[in-house]
Structure 1
Amino acid sequence: MAGIVIAFKDLSLTKGILNSDWVGWYHFETLLTSSNFYRVLRNSLLLSFYQIVWGFPAPILLALMLNEVRHLAFKRVTQTIIYFPHFISWVVMAGIVMSFLSPSTGIVNYVLHTLGFDSVAFLLKPEYFRSIIVSSEVWKEVGWGTIIYFAAISGIDPTLYESATIDGANRFQKMWHITLPGIAATIVILLLLKLGNILDNGFEQIYLLYNPMTYATGDVFETYTFRIGLQQGRISYGTAVGLFKAVVGFALIMSANSLARKISKKSIW
């Protein structure tokens, strides 16, 4: 936390943190007036919005569907297959994505070519970049996310399902009126945590897949900070960007927690 002071100084590695010149809000003013700021902010918010819309419900739906599977062997094999991508590093996963989307040898372009379409350089097209990021994120993490919801489902009282069966409820009605309300608290808490990290888009994934051609839609706060702070040596400015992210994230999670407590009576604290 003490390192936050770097954001208010013109850091000199020879003078050190304490002896560097104090510049106050200069770096924040530079950030807010920069032509790149609104592009980076828009990209970060849009990516997070798409990840919440598509990525957040995915493990919930998958957990609900797998919970209804009665063939134990099939259920276990399916769980193992969908969990596996979580343990693959983004370096390897990015290589797989690049292989799939390669204009010359990728399986996606092979299918397009077979159907009579021209090959598409997906990773060089800004309009496809967000879809690639979101879909690869869902593919990698959806299985791991189901573990939390399986744990929540296992805590539901089995007698509720037995009573519903006696009352004539079908499997969909049990899922809608028992399973979903039973895991509602878990869903709310995870959603609040997701909202608190709305400006965190995953540096490693984006850094490995983006390029100057896709900066227009793919450049987010993590990659912008890396380029400015480390590659260009503007450490104080990069710290200011990071502090801005942290403050916005804190404000969002406080607001979302308060709103959730008022609406659903469920919150983190």
Structure 2
Amino acid sequence: MAKTADASAQMTNFSKKKQGRLSYIRKNYVLYLFLAPAVLSVFIFNYIPMYGVLIAFQNFSVTKGIFGSEWVGLTHFTNFLTSPNFFQIFMNTIKLSIYGLLIGFPVPVILALMLNQVRRAGIKKNIQLIIYAPNFISTVVIGGMLFIFLSPAGPINSLLSVFFNQPISFMSEPSYFRTIFIASGIWQGAGFASIVYVAALSNSDPQLHDAATIDGASLLQRIWHIDIQVLKPVMAVLFILAVGGIMGVGFEKAYLLQTSMNLPASEVIDTYVYKRGLLAGDWSFGAAVGLFNTVIGLILLATANQVVKKLKGESLY
């Protein structure tokens, strides 16, 4: 009897919640009408094309189409996972992403905290303009700049000639690629990434700083106990998104900085998919590798979301 009563109570609560949602939708239907075009566009351009992943399980032929091509199951996934260069490509992707995350994630936070200490509005705007500017430089231009500055006859080697007799081939040595890739990425994106943190800090109550100053708190103590606490929810959400994007190193920059000499360190999954899937015309194999990359990223995103949710109580969903 007790179980029947509990089940009946649960059904009643569910029915009340459902009626409450329907009532809310009826009252605010105009808001849903405004939302409808965005939802429709996402469905048309993001969800409908997903049927194309079927070619990852086929020997796709352009003439036969998706529904006429031969079904081969997990053959392409198996070929990729057992290929001789799988481990190298996978580890290159992971290392570039994880090192970039560990080194690059704190930089926008530090920049935002430093900007927050600048009290003169004019100086603050000029500093923001300078650190935001690299984000608007094209990736192609960034690649060209790196090749010029780091070439054997470039300005960097001219400075190092004081200490070394021979110029260093930065762009040809695999050992330098990871440092160049990560450092240039931080330089280009850290300033613009700090915008979110600067906006969050603008909500910090100045009275808390005044009270902490009166109590004798130092600048570092006020930053740690006030500013960092304000940034924690934002940092948690952005960290989850960053972890979810670990497998997406960035095709454009990795491909532009590749040379035949640094290929052992610069070949990542995205560039491998481009070469095998588009240049070599192996559509099915390229789709399988891309789908593998996406699934790993989704798993990382879900895992990071659950871990951060349990530790900090913040999550994406």
Question: TM > 0.5 between the two?
Answer: yes
Task: Select 1:248's aligned residue among 296, 310, 313.
Answer: 296
What SS is found at the alignment partner of 1:35?
Answer: coil
Residue segments in structure 1 that go unaligned for 5+ positions in a row? none
> What letter matches 1:132 in structure 2?
I
In structure 1, what is the equivalent of residue 132 of structure 2? 83
Partners of 1:112 and 1:118 within 8 A in 2: no
Q: CA deviation at 1:72?
A: 3.0
Aligned partner (choices 178, 196, 206) of residue 244 of structure 2: 196
**1:235-257 deviation line (CA, Å, top 9, x unaligned):** 10000011101111111111111
**Counterpart residue identity of residue 110, structure 1:** S
Q: CA–CA distance in 2 between the matches of 1:260 and 1:162?
A: 32
Aligned to 1:224: 272
Q: Which amino acid aligns with 2:242?
A: K
Structure 1 contact 85–141 (Cα < 8 Å) conserved: yes
Alignment of 1:154 with 2:202, yes or no, is: yes
In 1, are the aligned partners of 2:208 and 2:226 still within 8 Å (CA)?
yes
Report whether the alignment pairs 1:13 with 2:62.
Answer: yes
Quote the residue 2:39 is aligned against.
Answer: none
Output the CA distance in 1 between the equivalents of 2:127 and 2:163.
31
Alignment correspondent of 2:180:
132
Give the letter aligned to residue 218 of structure 1.
Answer: S
Partner of 2:247: helix, strand, or coil?
A: coil
CA-CA distance at 1:162 after TM superposition: 2.4
> Alignment RMSD, CA only?
1.1
Q: AA paired with 1:268?
A: L
Q: 2:231 aligns with which of 159, 169, 183?
A: 183
> How many angstroms does 1:116 deviate by?
4.1
- Using the TM superposition, give the Cα deviation of residue 70 of structure 1 relative to its aligned residue in structure 2, in angstroms: 2.5
Deviations 1:85-109 (A, max 9, x none): 10011011111111110111x1110
Matched, 1:120 2:200: no
How far did 1:114 drift? 2.9
Larger Rg: 1 or 2?
2
* Within-5 A mapping of 1:203-214: 203-214=251-262
TM-score (norm 1): 0.97
In 1: Cα distance, 2:163 partner to 2:297 partner: 45
Residues 1:62 and 2:116 aligned together:
no
Mapped to 2, the partners of 1:76 and 1:263 lie a distance apart of 36
Task: Return the letter of the residue paired with 1:216.
Answer: P
* Deviation by residue 1:211-249 (Cα, 9 ceiling, x = unmatched): 121111111011000000011100100000111011111
Residue aligned with 2:60, SS? strand
How many residue pairs are counted as aligned between the two chains? 268
Shift of 1:44: 0.4
Whether the 8 Å contact between 1:229 and 1:235 is mirrored in structure 2 is: yes
1:39 aligns with 2:88: yes
Q: CA–CA distance in 2 between the matches of 1:156 and 1:117?
A: 53
Is the counterpart of residue 110 in structure 1 residue 158 in structure 2?
A: yes
Question: Does structure 1 retain, via aligned residues, the 8 Å contact 2:143–2:253?
Answer: yes
- Cα 1:8/1:103, change in 2 over 3 Å: same
Distance 2:165 2:242 in 1: 38
Moved over 4 A (4+): none
CA distance in structure 2 between the aligned counterparts of 1:71 and 1:54, rounded to whole angstroms: 30
| Matching residue of 2:98 | 49
**Is the 1:257–1:267 Cα contact (8 Å) retained in structure 2?**
yes
Q: Please give the secondary structure, in 2, of the residue aligned with 1:266.
A: coil
The 3 A distance-change label for structure 1 pair 116 and 35 is closer
Deviation for aligned residue 1:75: 2.0
- Supply the AA of the counterpart residue of 1:195: V
Q: In structure 2, how many angstroms separate the alpha carbons of the residues matched to 1:165 and 1:44?
A: 46
TM superposition shift of 1:69: 1.9
Report which stretch shifted further, 221-230 or 66-75: 66-75
Alignment check: 8 A CA contact 2:115 2:198 kept: no
